[in-house]
Amino acid sequence: MESGCWRTSARERLDVRLKTIFVGVQDLIAEHAPDAVALEESYVGADARIALSVGQARGAVLVAAAAAGVECAEHAPARVKQTVCGYGRAEKEQVQRMVKIILSLDTEPKTSHEADAFAVAICHALAPRLLEVAR
C-alpha cells in the first residue's frame, strides 16, 4: 500500500502549484485506474485564505478526475471520522491509529494528511454498506 503527498513551495506561482496537483492526480489515475476519486468536503475554518487555497487544490483534483472520466465523491469530515473511529469529532491521532488498525499497516501513516486520505478512502469504500444499514 502506497501513500504520499505533493509538496509545493509557497514561493512558486499558484498556477504552477495547482498544475503539480493536477498532473499528479492524472498520473495516479493512469497508473491505478480507480473506480472513483473520494475527497473530504471542505471545512471552512477561521482562515479564509487557507479555505480558498484548499478549494483551489480540490478543484485541480476534481478536474483531473473528470478529465479522466472518473467519478468523484465527497464525504463530510464528521462522517469520515464517525466511520473510521466511531466518533465524528475524533482527533487526528485517533484517525491515524484507526487507519493503521483497519488497513493492517505496520506503522501509522507518516502524516495526518496521509491518514486523512486513507480515512476518506475507507469511508468511501464502506459508504454503500452504511446506506444499506441505514435503510
Rounded Cα distance, 42 and 58, in Å = 9
Q: Which residue carries 487557507 as its cell?
A: 50
Phi/psi at 68 (nearest 5 deg)? -90, 0
Q: Residues of the chain with pLDDT > 90: what percent?
A: 76
Note the pTM of the prediction, 2 decimals. Answer: 0.87
> What CA–CA distances, in Å, run from 47 to 21, 64, 110?
22, 26, 25
Which grid cell sits at 104? Answer: 493492517
Q: Looking at the chain, how many residues does it have?
A: 135
Please name the residues in contact with 94: beta carbons below 8 A apart, sequence gap of 6 or more. 81, 85, 87
Mean per-residue pLDDT of the chain: 90
In tens, the pLDDT along 52-76 reads 888 999 999 999 999 999 999 999 9
> What CA–CA distances, in Å, run from 90 to 1, 30, 82, 86, 93?
24, 34, 8, 8, 8
Rounded Cα distance, 12 and 14, in Å = 6
Q: How far apart are the first and last CA of the chain?
A: 33
